[in-house]
Structure formats: C-alpha cells, structure tokens
A and B are shown apart, each in its own frame.
Chain A
C-alpha cells in the first residue's frame, strides 16, 4: 500500500460515495472535499516521488487481474447490450471482438510473460498526474456550481447530478491509472474505462442528439481500443513482452513498428485527430464541466501521452512520418475551420483538436527539442483550455448565450469573467504566454529535423489561430451596452474559485516554465535519450519573455493614474454624421432610425467546414493507408 494506490483508489471511492448520496447539500460538500483531497493527494504523490521516481508491482497480481477481467466483462456486457438496444451494432461488434480477444489472450497466452514493473512513476507521469489532479479537481469543483445553475436553466433535462459528478471522479481515477501503468494490459483497461466515462458524460442529457453523439464517441474510441487490443496481443505473442517501457526500448524494426502503428491509431482516435475527430466535436452537447475535462486534463491527453511514450520508436520511422503528417493535416485543417465558428464551445473544440495535432507532431518527430515542446504544450494547453471552457460555461449562464457574437455584453455584465476569458485566450496564442513558447520551440525543432512541410503547415495554422482568437477578444473588448431587461444570474463562489485558480495557473505556469523545464523536462529528456538535454530557448530570450509578461501585467495597472488625470471631451462615434445620439443607431437615407449591428468575419466561403473536413479526412485516411502499405512493404522486404 503506497501513496500512489491511495491516489488511484481515492477518486474511485469518492465517485462511489457521491453516486450513493441523494441529498444535494451533502453531495455538493462531498464533491468539494473530494476535489480538494484529490488535489492535495496529487501534490503529495508528486512531492514524494518526483525526484527519484518509483516503479513497483503489487504482490498479488492475480487478484488484480481477476478484478480487471471481471470489470472488463461487465463493461463489455453493458456496452454490447446498449449497442443492440439502440441499434448501434458496430459498438457491440467492436466491444465483443476486443473483449473476447483480450480474454483469450489473458487466459491462454499470457502465462509466462513476466511483468517486472507494472507501474512506473517517472517525471513525465508526474507531470501528467499534476495536470489530471489539479486541473481535473478544479473542474470537479466547478461542476458543483455549474450543475446547479445548469438545471435551473434546463428544466427539461432529468436531474442526475449524482451520476454526473461521480463519473467525473471515476474519470480522474482512470486517468491516474492510465498514466501510471507500465503494464500494457492495465493501461488498456484504464483506456477503456475512460472511453466508457466519456460515453456516459456525453450522453448525460439523454436528448436524441446527446445519445447519438455519445454513441459516435463510443464507436470511434472502441475502434481505437480494438487497435490497442490487437497491439497487445501482437506484442505479447511475438515478443513475450507486456511492458510499455520494454517495448519502447526495442529497435524500430518493422516487426516492432506494427504494434506501434496500432497503438498510434488508438492514440489518434483518443486524441480526436483527423479522420477520427468528429466524436470530440459531438461531445460538446454535454454539460460544460465534462467538455472541460475531456478537452484539457483527461481523455484527449491520454492519446498524446501515449504518442509521447512511443516517441523513441516513432522518430525517423515510416510510422512516425505518417503520424506526424496526420497531426500536421489536423492542425492546419482544424485551425482554419475554427475561423468559421461562432459558437464558443465549437471554437474551443476545433482549437483543441488543432493543438492536439501540434502535440502529436512534436511527439512523433521524437527529437529532444520536439518532445520538450510537446510536454510543455500539454501543460499549457491543459490549463488555458480548461480555464476557457469553464469560463464559457459561466458566461453562458450570465448572458444566456455562448455565441461569441453575443459576448460584446460580457464586460458590462461581469467584468471579472471577461478578464478571465481574455487571460485564457491570451494563454492560447499570444506572446509571451505558454502555448506560444512551445510553438516557438516546435518551429525550431521542425527545422532542425528537416520537416519543411510541417513548418509551412504550422505557419499557416498559426496565422489562422491568431485570427480566430483575436476576433473573439475583439468582441470581448467591445463592451456593448446591456439591454435593460437583461436578467443577471448569480456568479457563485463554486464557479468563481476554480476559475480564479485556473487563471492564476495560466499566468503562473508562464512565469515558471523555465523551472518546469529545468527540474522536470530536461532530466526526463536527458534520461530518455542518454544525452544531455538543454532548454531549447536561450536564457536571454527567456528573460525577455518574462519581462514582456511582467509588462503585460503592470501596464494596465499603470494606466489607472493616467486616466484619473485627464479630462477629455467625450464624443459620439463617427457614423457619417448620422449618429442618432446613443452610439447604437443611425439615421438612414429614408430618415428612419436603424440599429447598428457589428458582426465578425467567418469566411465560410473560403474555410467552409464541410469542404475542409472532407479534404482533411481524405488526406489523413490516405496517409494512414500509406502507413499500412509501407508496413506491409517493410514486412515483405
């Protein structure tokens, strides 16, 4: 029994307790306590094991295996039944195939395969645990306030808060298990549990749309799971290996690359890369905390985490090239498509997929620098994205819409939320915030590894990224006047505290990235490559970045005295001399009063989602097929 076991088991118990508690007040309290304890436990585990890492086995492995087999069978029965019930036969087929395959493997083939380290905590898993534990528990905390307001707004949706909140904790537990497992069967088990959790969360509202999208997520991820299961069986039978660390240490020969390719497919589906991305876009129907969780701390990060683990095998290999290009196509296509969206959650979804694409590129190029960028991207993306999601959730309750076009009001309705949102957006693309630092290193790494096409894709994608975030920010700074009848909703502390902490995390992570690099990334990469790793950004540049960041924080404050000092004449905005006097409308050529309506650009004609999705999917399918052909060719040769 060690702290790590506690870390995995505690959220599980919390989930069970929350599920069984019927009283609202008690349950909310339980969730708050559970979230705080999870965060504290996370910190404790990281503090305890960060320096030396730990790898261990449980003494009674068979018992664990039996428990897992039992749960796997139960889950499979559940999935197969609902698949039949809802006429989603593909779900049932996928589930049946992979479960029977894994069971057959467990009982007939697995004997004799020794697993030395079932669990490993190294610096990478420590970082992942921190993200899952801190960001995840903040989202759980936020869910308390959000769900209360959610059901006040959506009276038609059956209240199953205990179910929703407990799944959040189950999710965290599975993610902890996932990033700590070195035994591939355990990893696979947790992988499938996250799939199930996401299915349950997306389908929460039980509307036909939610059900449909939940099944879509299930089909895609079970498909990925199938690839995972195949990889395990292949590795187990061919090499008598079940440990991820042993697999990764092998030479990248064709025989090894086959399971690596399968695992990459599983990772790409989990990380919603093209052509598997539609499930994540559909996942937006769920209440916001679940989207926040899926997009920032859990689920999609599992995929890129696996790619980072596989990085030493990807590198220069054909499989690596294919995965890199798929990431590139995804990054470019989704960045462009995000321009055409006006629904805030849709923009966030496209941006998530795009950024995951970037992480996939960095991870699959597999050089020291690019992995440095990949891991930092995961950190920065998790904090900024979860901040943005939970802010959007609260904004929706405040202004009654999550359309960016309506957010001009936000500054007048709740200036705090507007500022938090601006911090989140800045964190996603502006210098000197985190995502940009990583993007910068990524560019350098791509040039160093001669990936010209990828750099060009990155340049275009970045330009598009800049466009859609800035126009969103533009709406926020507009500060439109609030209509009289606007009904303001209470912005509860349950929402405010996690949002505040997340916003602080965005800023703090930018200030402390040199430390993260020094104490976590550089040692990890040095060990992985057996070669001294360096921080890819020069010290002078880091100083300039931190200086810029400080300026961004100090300058707005410095402006206050200037404003107090001046008394400037205030005039109406220019409307060709026809402003009716309230800045809201003008007198048109017929003498009527016409309201001014200012809209952003969406450019559907150029970046139409349908066309881009089609092309993106075709190209990425083509790339994956090329990967298969290359592997077969490699085998034949």
Chain B
C-alpha cells in the first residue's frame, strides 16, 4: 500500500512541479511586462529536449545526472509517504552531491565553476535544512512526516523563526536570484548555464525533471510546518506552499545576484540567529 502510494506520488510530483515551474515563468514574464510562454511550456521544453540529439564531452558525465535523479526521486518518495525527514534530507544531499560531481566530471571551465558554486550553495543551505528537521523533531517528537502532521497544533506556532530561516534558504535551493550563482541564468534562456553547460538533449531533460522534484521536495518542507490532523489545515498548508512559492518568484525578480561571499555569510547568519533564538526560547518551555 505504502509502496503503491509512493509510486503514485512519484508520478504526480513532477507533473505538479512542472506546472509550478510553468506558472513561475508566466508570473515572471508578467512581472517583467512580457506576455510569457504558456503554462505548459516546461513540459513542451522537456519533450523537445528528449527528441533532440544528445551530445557529450565524455562518456561518464551523464551518469551522475541520472544518479542524481534517482536519489532525488527517492527523497520525494520518502517525504511524500510520510517517512523520516532527516533520512530524506540525507538522500537529497546524496542526489545533489551527484549533480555536483557531474559538473566536475565534464572538466569544462564553465561547468566546473558552476559545480563549485553549487557546492557552495549546498554548504550555505545545509545547516538550515538539518536544523529544520531537528527543530520539528524537538517540538513533535518524531522525524517522520506522518507523525509530525498528525498532531493538533501546527509546527509553525512553535517554530516561526525556523520557518523564516527555511524560506530564506529555499531561495538558494530553488536556485533563484539572488542565489542563482550555480546556474548563472535568469529567465531560463541563456545557453551558458553554469553547471549544466555541457549537458544537452535527454540529459538536460533529466536535469529539468530533477528540478521539478526538488520544487516539490522544498514545498513539502513548507507544508509540514502548517499541516495538522485536520483536513482544513492541510488545505491551508497547500495554500501556504503556494504563497511561499509566489514569494520566491517575487524575490527572484526583485533582487540582483549576490556574490558567493554574501550568499554564504547571509545564509549562515540568518540560519544561526533565527534557529538559535527560536530553539532557546522553546527550550525554556520544554
């Protein structure tokens, strides 16, 4: 049963993720005073990419991208069936590490710089992601998503600081401006896109689909903060996810790219200050 449910979610997740990306592109276009593509454009793009010829710079670099997809799918599977969050985060890290290794393995200057920057971004957001998991454990007594959302009081009541910190680093995870160092692109139209420079055709399609999964994974983290045992709260939680996603799009369009030093410093400072304060206040009541 759980496995069937997992498979269903794994099929649905990229559809929703792709749709969200399409909405992202429409909203971004409108914010910039353009008409923009249709909402289903990301799917058209991916189908087109699959049909195109895949060329490669060496025989191994696409291997890492596929591995990355496998583990990101795995992560979303764990999260969506209500599994262990911390385990999911570790699996996600494994997936992202493979993505970075793919960038390194091309031995191309653009790709390598992209990989290094992606790695820096991982280092910037990783503490916050880990602390989000342990904070949820702290207030809910379990790492399992299904147990966390089975309680009566939503986690956001206890963890407002942690939640703001999470939103801050979601911007990095979604590779949105001002933290889009590793892809170095905006509006999805440049050719030289950092870590993905050397990928084409099917491999690029895989990267795009991986990104859809990542959108769902990050939004699941938001969902967990609002959902409780009641149905209404879960609807509210979905709304919260959409609001957060909209907020990220606005941030994406409102900021110029930061330098890597700023990315690292700001995200670490925001993480440190917010979680420390939040958890220390909580520990008085614990």
A448-482: contact bitstring with B at CB < 8 Å (1 yes, 0 no)?
00101101101110111011001101110111100
Q: Is the CB of B54 within 8 A of A455?
A: no
Smallest beta-carbon distance B261→chain A, Å: 7
Shortest Cβ distance from A544 into B: residue: B87
Q: Is the CB of B100 within 8 A of A474?
A: yes
Smallest beta-carbon distance B58→chain A, Å: 7
Hey, which chain B residues are within 8 Å of A54, CB to CB? none
- A–B Cβ pairs within 8 angstroms, 21 of them: A430-B94, A432-B90, A446-B134, A450-B283, A452-B283, A456-B279, A459-B126, A459-B271, A462-B126, A463-B124, A466-B97, A471-B119, A473-B101, A474-B115, A474-B116, A477-B64, A544-B87, A573-B107, A576-B192, A601-B119, A601-B120
Q: Is the CB of A568 within 8 A of B192?
A: no
- Quick check: is A574 within 8 A (CB to CB) of the other chain? yes
Q: Is the CB of A459 within 8 A of B67?
A: no
Smallest beta-carbon distance A376→chain B, Å: 16
B241-279: contact bitstring with A at CB < 8 Å (1 yes, 0 no)?
000000000000000000001001100100110011001
Q: Is the CB of A551 within 8 A of B70?
A: yes
Q: Is the CB of A452 within 8 A of B276?
A: yes
Smallest beta-carbon distance A506→chain B, Å: 16
Shortest Cβ distance from B77 into A: residue: A544
A13-28: contact bitstring with B at CB < 8 Å (1 yes, 0 no)?
0000000000000000
Q: Is the CB of A462 within 8 A of B119?
A: no
Hey, which chain B residues are within 8 Å of A515, CB to CB? none
Smallest beta-carbon distance A525→chain B, Å: 21
Q: Is the CB of A443 within 8 A of B57?
A: no
Q: Chain B residues in contact with chain A, CB under 8 A?
A: 53-60, 63-64, 66-67, 70-71, 74, 78, 83-84, 86-87, 90-91, 93-94, 97, 100-101, 103-112, 115-116, 119-120, 122-124, 126-128, 130-131, 134, 137-138, 143, 192, 197-198, 261, 264-265, 268, 271-272, 275-276, 279-280, 283, 286
Closest 7 CB pairs of A and B: A474-B104, A431-B90, A573-B108, A463-B126, A459-B127, A467-B123, A459-B130
Q: Is the CB of B126 within 8 A of A430?
A: no
Q: Is the CB of A463 within 8 A of B123?
A: yes
A605 to B264 CA separation, bound complex (whole angstroms): 13
Q: Which of B56, B87, B265, B271 has the most CB of A within 10 A?
A: B87
Hey, which chain B residues are within 8 Å of A455, CB to CB? 131, 134, 279
Q: Do A431 and B104 form a contact, CB below 8 Å, given A443-B130, A563-B59? A: no
A322 to B76 CA separation, bound complex (whole angstroms): 40
Hey, which chain A residues are within 8 Å of B63, CB to CB? 556, 559
Q: Chain A residues in contact with chain B, CB under 8 A?
A: 408, 430-432, 436, 440, 443-444, 446-447, 450, 452-453, 455-456, 458-460, 462-464, 466-467, 470-471, 473-475, 477-480, 538, 540-541, 544-545, 548, 551, 555-556, 559, 563, 568-576, 583, 596, 598, 600-601, 605-606
Q: Is the CB of B109 within 8 A of A460?
A: no
A538 to B84 CA separation, bound complex (whole angstroms): 9
Q: Is the CB of B126 within 8 A of A466?
A: yes
Shortest Cβ distance from B103 into A: residue: A474
A460 to B116 CA separation, bound complex (whole angstroms): 18
A143 to B198 CA separation, bound complex (whole angstroms): 43
> Which listed residue (B107, B123, B261) contacts A464, Cβ 8 A?
B123
> Which listed residue (B57, B261, B268) contacts A571, Cβ 8 A?
B57
Hey, which chain A residues are within 8 Å of B131, CB to CB? 455-456, 459
Q: Is the CB of A470 within 8 A of B119?
A: yes
Hey, which chain B residues are within 8 Å of A568, CB to CB? 54-56
A551 to B90 CA separation, bound complex (whole angstroms): 15
A479 to B60 CA separation, bound complex (whole angstroms): 10
Smallest beta-carbon distance B135→chain A, Å: 9
A570 to B143 CA separation, bound complex (whole angstroms): 46
Q: Is the CB of A431 within 8 A of B94?
A: yes
Hey, which chain B residues are within 8 Å of A605, CB to CB? 261
Smallest beta-carbon distance B61→chain A, Å: 9
Smallest beta-carbon distance A98→chain B, Å: 42
Smallest beta-carbon distance A612→chain B, Å: 14
Hey, which chain B residues are within 8 Å of A571, CB to CB? 55-57
Q: Is the CB of B55 within 8 A of A569?
A: yes
Q: Is the CB of A601 within 8 A of B57?
A: no
Hey, which chain A residues are within 8 Å of B70, CB to CB? 551, 555
Smallest beta-carbon distance B87→chain A, Å: 6
Known: A460-B127, A573-B198. 11 other contacts (CB 8 A): A430-B94, A444-B143, A453-B276, A456-B276, A459-B128, A462-B126, A475-B104, A477-B105, A572-B57, A583-B108, A605-B261
Q: Do A467 and B119 form a contact, CB below 8 Å, given A544-B87, A606-B264? A: yes
Smallest beta-carbon distance A287→chain B, Å: 31
A479 to B107 CA separation, bound complex (whole angstroms): 8
A560 to B57 CA separation, bound complex (whole angstroms): 18
Q: Do A548 and B127 form a contact, CB below 8 Å, given A450-B283, A452-B279? A: no
A596 to B113 CA separation, bound complex (whole angstroms): 12
Shortest Cβ distance from B104 into A: residue: A474
Q: Do A569 and B57 form a contact, CB below 8 Å, given A431-B90, A431-B91, A452-B279? A: no
Q: Is the CB of A541 within 8 A of B87?
A: yes
